Amino acid sequence: MNINAFVPILLLAALKDSFKGTHPAVIASLSARVGSIEDNQLGGWYSYRASKAAHNMLFKTASIELKRLNNQCTVLCLHPGTTDTGLSQPFQARVPEDKLFTPTFVAEQLLAVIAQRSPDDNGTFWAWDGQPIEW
On the 0-12 / 13-18 / 19+ scale of CB atoms within 10 A, 125 is buried
Give the model's pLDDT for residue 90: 66
Q: What global pTM score does this model have?
A: 0.90
**Domain boundaries of the chain, sorted by first residue:** 2-8+27-127
- DSSP H or E stretch at residue 52: helix 46-69
User: Thinking of the domain 2-8+27-127, which architecture would CATH place it in?
Assistant: 3-Layer(aba) Sandwich (3.40)
User: How big, in percent rounded to 5, are the helix, strand and coil portions of the chain?
Assistant: 55, 15, 30
DSSP for 88-127, written as a single string: TGGGGGGS-GGGEE-HHHHHHHHHHHHHH--GGGTTEEEE
Q: pLDDT tens, position by position, for the chain (135 residues)?
A: 999 999 999 999 999 999 999 999 999 999 999 899 888 878 887 999 999 999 999 999 999 999 999 999 999 999 998 776 667 666 767 767 778 788 899 999 999 999 999 999 999 999 999 999 999
